[in-house]
A and B are shown apart, each in its own frame.
Chain A
Amino acid sequence: AQSVTQPDIHITVSEGASLELRCNYSYGATPYLFWYVQSPGQGLQLLLKYFSGDTLVQGIKGFEAEFKRSQSSFNLRKPSVHWSDAAEYFCAVGPIYGGSQGNLIFGKGTKLSVKP
Chain B
Amino acid sequence: EPEVTQTPSHQVTQMGQEVILRCVPISNHLYFYWYRQILGQKVEFLVSFYNNEISEKSEIFDDQFSVERPDGSNFTLKIRSTKLEDSAMYFCASSEGTGGASTEAFFGQGTRLTVV
Contact = CB atoms under 8 A, between A and B. Distances in A.
A106 B104 contact: no
B103 A36 contact: no
Contact of A103 (B33, B44, B59, B109): B33
Nearest to A95: B103
Interface size of B as a range: 20 to 34
Contacts of B57: 100
Interface stretch (B13-21, B73-81, B91-99): B91-99
Report the contact-size class of chain A (Cβ under 8 Å from the partner).
20 to 34
Interface class of chain A by DSSP? loop
Given A44-B91, A90-B43, A106-B42, A32 B35 contact: no
Interface of B: 6, 31, 33, 35, 41-48, 56-59, 91, 95, 98-101, 103-110, 112
The 7 closest A-B pairs by CB, nearest first: A102-B45, A43-B109, A44-B107, A108-B42, A106-B43, A95-B103, A94-B103
Interface of A: 32, 34, 36, 41-46, 49, 51, 90, 92, 94-95, 97-109
